[in-house]
A and B are shown apart, each in its own frame.
Chain A
Amino acid sequence: MSARRIAAIARRIAQQFRRDRRSLALLIVAPIAVLALLGYVIRDEKPINTRLGIVSLGGPADAPIQAALNAAATQAGVPVVDVGTDAASGRAAVQAGRADVVIVLPANLASGVATVQLITLGEAPADDGARLQIVAGLIERAATQGPRLTIEHETIYGSASADILDTFAPALIGFFGFFFVFVLTGISFLRERTGGTLERLLATPVRRSEIVVGYSAGFGFFATVQVALILLFALGSLSVPRIGPVGSFEVGLGIANAGSPLLAFVVIFLTAIGAVNLAIFLSTFARTELQILEFIPIVIVPQALLGGVFWSVDSLPDPVQAVARLLPMTHAIDGLRAVLLRGAGMSDGTLQIDIAFLAGVAILFVVLAGATIRREIA
């Protein structure tokens, strides 16, 4: 393979992008705009109401703080409901929908440091998050003097630390990493086939492998920039101070990322390389640009539905699950969730499987793409 020819192909793709600002904008601005919109919708939604239950395990010794909590709740307009006298009855009340948040005051409250347990349903993490913020404020106000309280969050369903955006963002990053690169490469390579430039290219001593690698490098570069910016936006959080009439605001979603952004990048990069080469391969089966768009319901939508964007793969019926596990998007999303939510590192077994699978898919599609670029086009 000639590095010079590969570089020439990659550079040409960059030049074409430079002239086609709209596609470049689509690649970068569109995913960030969608993420931002989603973040806004999810985060700024107001919870309908917060019905508070208080359970005291410490008996009469807790009376002062319980009274202080009641007072703070009344002051804040938070209704307090009766949920019984132990943690189990508190949980039952939350599960039955009689209370939204139950505070469990521990038995050893008087003795220095104590842990207060907050119980929520965990079905709508965004609502829970907002309610917890309110309740934490109440606790802070009620416990101005006395023991230092740490808060522990327990949910009936789901995991306590996630908000919807946290679980949704890795899925969207995986989806965008695949989608835009797929569409742009597909159309670009189709034009190469129909516009006569591929014929011309094949009349030079270029190798098929150089074309495929050059394309992967050219589109891979833009996919890299795209993904890096999306990750930066999703994970970062930058406070922009007030400038004149423009109020202060936050840039970035500040999504909790437990793991290494670099590892997240590896996952998404492999996904994008697979998408570039799948698009080259499938462009053989399209005659027009419109037919490339027709691949979206065939290639993209099933992956979005089965890959874990909207519901987890584990919740799918068994036969469907088996299919889902063969889709690159499933592993991209699973890998990103493992890294970003669970903080998985390279020693993590499922992440290893995801990365190995994505690398395998990328190699398979590179080979398939190479096979469709034949000197004999007819």
Chain B
Amino acid sequence: MGTGGPAGPATEPAGPAIETHGLRKVFGAIAAVDGIDISFPAGRIYGLLGPNGSGKTTLIRLMAGLAVATSGSVTVLGTRMPSRPLLARIGYMTQSDGLYSELSVWENLSFFAAMSGQPDVTAMAEILDVVELGDRRGRPILQLSGGMRRRLSLACALVHRPTVVFLDEPTVGVDPVLRYHLWDHFRRLATAGTTLVVSSHVMDEGDRCDELVLIRSGRVLAMGNGAEIRRQAGTADLESAFLKLSGVPTRGDSQ
């Protein structure tokens, strides 16, 4: 693959897998990401929670090196982003499916595998089984249901066994049973050392993450695991915690 092999030392840097400093991204008058400092140690699942337009996708694109920060910095696996060679070790599932609709399931998967590195047929077959599309390899995308496309999109992001994974609302449209299996798979990946950043606005997925970052208007509202955030807000569930931290008056809220 030319000179563009995976960057970084063979041994993982001791520091966090992902780190940002004073990260800002401004579109005209809007600051989509407005000064975010995070430090994510490797091998864990991080949840980005926030309402529509809060800046989740923009933050992920900055971390994946697809957008250039207005100010501040992103470091992934010790490399300052954006870095093209490092992308071989990053998996990114976009919020829209981003698949070639004329191609079959297998053709899409092998295309993205070829783009990310050496395509590995075993890895391709394995990941298709994880998303339960193993029996639909030859199907054109046009004939898949919305949830199936979402699953294939996820498979395309994971097929090259990345070290750091960004998943932008991966479980939207996926049925509860498969959603349960997918989160199991995410956990297995994390246990094996992969760092996952998963965005969602479904609060009940928050408890599946090791650490949550609640964002609103491009700023961090709260950080910590589900229990910590509930305690901080003094609420019984994440949803009301989020509403309360956002300053929205909720039932039984004296403010």
User: Which secondary structure characterizes the binding site on chain B?
Assistant: loop
Check if B97 is an interface residue, CB within 8 A of chain A. yes
Which residues of B lie under 8 Å from residue A98 when comparing CB positions?
A: none
Which residues of B lie under 8 Å from residue A4 when comparing CB positions?
A: 1, 114
Known contacts being A196-B94, A376-B66, is A205 close to B100, with CB within 8 Å?
A: no
Of A2, A16, A200, A376, which contacts B92 at CB under 8 A?
A200
Q: How far is the CB of B93 from chain A (nearest CB, A)?
A: 8
A12 touches B84 (CB 8 A): no
Check if B243 is an interface residue, CB within 8 A of chain A. no
Which chain B residue lies CB-closest to A196? B98
Which chain A residue lies CB-closest to B2? A2
Check if A5 is an interface residue, CB within 8 A of chain B. yes
A15 touches B99 (CB 8 A): no
Which residues of A lie under 8 Å from residue B156 when comparing CB positions?
A: 200
Of A16, A204, A378, which contacts B100 at CB under 8 A?
A16
Known contacts being A12-B107, A205-B84, is A197 close to B4, with CB within 8 Å?
A: no
Q: Which of A178-202 contact B (CB under 8 A)?
A: 195-197, 199-202
Which residues of A lie under 8 Å from residue B147 when comparing CB positions?
A: none
Q: How far is the CB of A370 from chain B (nearest CB, A)?
A: 14
Which residues of B lie under 8 Å from residue A199 when comparing CB positions?
A: 66, 94, 98
Check if A141 is an interface residue, CB within 8 A of chain B. no
B103 touches A1 (CB 8 A): no
CA–CA, A206 to B84, complex, Å?
8
B2 touches A16 (CB 8 A): no
Q: Which of B57-90 contact A (CB under 8 A)?
A: 61, 64-68, 82, 84-88, 90
Q: How far is the CB of B119 from chain A (nearest CB, A)?
A: 8
Q: Which of B1-53 contact A (CB under 8 A)?
A: 1-2, 4, 27
B100 touches A2 (CB 8 A): no
Which residues of A lie under 8 Å from residue B183 when comparing CB positions?
A: none
Which chain B residue lies CB-closest to A204? B115
CA–CA, A196 to B97, complex, Å?
7
CA–CA, A8 to B115, complex, Å?
8
Which residues of A lie under 8 Å from residue B250 when comparing CB positions?
A: none
B66 touches A377 (CB 8 A): yes
Q: Which of B84-130 contact A (CB under 8 A)?
A: 84-88, 90, 92, 94, 96-103, 107, 110-112, 114-117
A378 touches B84 (CB 8 A): no
CA–CA, A297 to B87, complex, Å?
40
B116 touches A204 (CB 8 A): yes
CA–CA, A4 to B90, complex, Å?
20
Q: Which of A5-28 contact B (CB under 8 A)?
A: 5, 8, 12, 15-16, 19-20
Interface size on B, residues (CB 8 A): 37
A15 touches B67 (CB 8 A): no
Which residues of A lie under 8 Å from residue B111 when comparing CB positions?
A: 8, 12
Check if B140 is an interface residue, CB within 8 A of chain A. yes
Known contacts being A2-B1, A12-B111, A377-B66, is A207 close to B102, with CB within 8 Å?
A: no
Q: How far is the CB of A215 from chain B (nearest CB, A)?
A: 13
B85 touches A196 (CB 8 A): no
CA–CA, A303 to B163, complex, Å?
51
Of B94, B103, B116, which contacts A15 at CB under 8 A?
B103
Q: How far is the CB of A345 from chain B (nearest CB, A)?
A: 38
B2 touches A19 (CB 8 A): no
Of B85, B86, B94, B107, which contacts A200 at CB under 8 A?
B94
A1 touches B2 (CB 8 A): yes
Report A362-376 CB contacts with B as 1/0, cut-off 8 Å. 000000000000011
B103 touches A16 (CB 8 A): yes
Q: How far is the CB of A69 from chain B (nearest CB, A)?
A: 66
Which chain B residue lies CB-closest to A202? B66
Q: How far is the CB of B190 from chain A (nearest CB, A)?
A: 20
Check if A203 is an interface residue, CB within 8 A of chain B. yes
CA–CA, A191 to B77, complex, Å?
33
B115 touches A206 (CB 8 A): yes
A375 touches B94 (CB 8 A): no
Q: How far is the CB of A7 from chain B (nearest CB, A)?
A: 8
Q: How far is the CB of B195 from chain A (nearest CB, A)?
A: 16
- The residue among B103, B107, B114 with the most chain A CB atoms within 10 A of its own CB is B114
A204 touches B102 (CB 8 A): no
- The residue among A15, A196, A197, A207 with the most chain B CB atoms within 10 A of its own CB is A197
B68 touches A376 (CB 8 A): yes
Known contacts being A8-B115, A15-B107, A16-B103, is A205 close to B96, with CB within 8 Å?
A: no
Which residues of B lie under 8 Å from residue A5 when comparing CB positions?
A: 1, 114-115
Q: How far is the CB of B136 from chain A (nearest CB, A)?
A: 16
Which residues of A lie under 8 Å from residue B103 when comparing CB positions?
A: 12, 15-16, 19
Q: Contacts A8-B115, A16-B100, A205-B116 given; 4 further ones with Cβ under 8 A?
A: A12-B103, A205-B4, A375-B65, A377-B66
Pairs A–B under 8 Å by Cβ, sample size 7: A197-B99, A202-B66, A203-B90, A205-B116, A375-B67, A377-B66, A377-B67
Interface on A for B, CB 8 Å cutoff?
1-2, 4-5, 8, 12, 15-16, 19-20, 195-197, 199-207, 375-378
Q: Give me the 3 closest cross-chain CB pairs, A-B, nearest first.
A: A196-B98, A8-B114, A203-B92
